[in-house]
Amino acid sequence: MTPVPGRAWAASSVCVSLVLSVILGGLPLVSFLRDGVHLYCEYSDVGEAAPGSFFCADGIGYIVPVATIILVWALVSALAIVAMSAWIPPALRPRLVSLLSLGPAVYLSILAADATGRLRATVQPRDFWSGPMLAVTVLLSGFAAVVLVLLVVRGSRSRLVLYVVGGVLLLAALAAQPGMLAATLLTMGLFGASLILDRARYELPSAPQLR
């Protein structure tokens, strides 16, 4: 089998980030789903509480969505490792992995939007969404733009700058919404794996290839 430069380190980055996202991000994820975007919650402004209260399922009720999220992220991680295969062109490997790095945050953002949209409330659903999600969505949108630019940009220095910018945006997104720690950790691991693969191909002896 033809060795793939940087694959061992890149695959390790993905696997370690997946494990850390589950171990370190599991409890914050449950808190984010329940107290952040109010998944499986009902809103009421009747009674003594003002302006209103949320009535949510207990912790056990979040086992299924959390397990589903972990399953989706495991699938994304597996696809990223497949994208590092020798039969994939060297220039395409980091681009595919960087695209897959969008998966965790996008999936969780869609779940959050769906949860807030389903609330039976007396105010607009976006009022529940903007608090926990507005700032982090803006930052993750910037990160997504960086990933898309990486698909077309050539040149070692230009790409390295974009990777640095993407990393800074991810750190800012984590600061803006710590509840998305699990998604952000896996995104960082995938994006880091893309960087490893990208730098490894530039360190190879010069050969004709798409840059």
**Alpha-carbon span 125 to 168, nearest angstrom:** 30
Q: Measuring CA to CA, how many Å separate 53 from each of 13, 35, 56, 100, 131?
A: 41, 11, 10, 38, 16
What per-residue confidence (pLDDT) applies to 208? 45
* pLDDT-above-70 percentage for the chain: 86
- Look at residue 2 and tell me if it is in a domain: no
Check residues 119 and 103 and name the one with the higher pLDDT: 103
- Look at residue 1 and tell me if it is in a domain: no
Given a cut of 70, whether residue 1 has pLDDT beyond it is no
Cis amide prior to 89 (ω within 30 degrees): no
Neighbours of 189 (CB within 10 A): 25
Q: Tell me the whole-structure pTM to 2 decimals.
A: 0.87
* pLDDT-above-90 percentage for the chain: 58
Confidence of residue 207 (pLDDT cuts 50, 70, 90): very low
- Look at residue 208 and tell me if it is in a domain: no
What per-residue confidence (pLDDT) applies to 170? 97
What per-residue confidence (pLDDT) applies to 38? 82
The whole-chain average pLDDT of the chain stands at 86
What per-residue confidence (pLDDT) applies to 146? 97
- Look at residue 38 and tell me if it is in a domain: yes
Given a cut of 90, whether residue 130 has pLDDT beyond it is no
83 touches 93 (CB < 8 A): yes
Give the CB-side neighbour count of residue 104, counting CA atoms within 13 A. Answer: 34
Query: Can you list the pairs that 55-58 forms with residues at least 24 positions away whose Cβ atoms lie under 8 Å?
Result: none
Residue 205's region, left for phi above 0, alpha for psi from -120 to 50, else beta, is: beta
Domain that residue 136 falls in: 7-202
Q: What are the phi and psi torsion angles at 43 (to 5°)?
A: -110, 135
- Look at residue 27 and tell me if it is in a domain: yes
What per-residue confidence (pLDDT) applies to 52? 64
Which alpha helices (DSSP H) does the chain contain, by range?
7-23, 26-31, 63-82, 92-100, 103-117, 125-150, 156-176, 181-202
What per-residue confidence (pLDDT) applies to 209? 47
- Look at residue 141 and tell me if it is in a domain: yes
- Look at residue 181 and tell me if it is in a domain: yes
Least confident of 26-35, 44-53, 80-89, 162-171: 44-53
Q: How many residues would you count in the chain? A: 211
Domain count, the chain: 1
Least confident of 2-16, 66-80, 168-182: 2-16
Check residues 6 and 102 and name the one with the higher pLDDT: 102
Given a cut of 90, whether residue 44 has pLDDT beyond it is no
**Alpha-carbon span 186 to 169, nearest angstrom:** 14
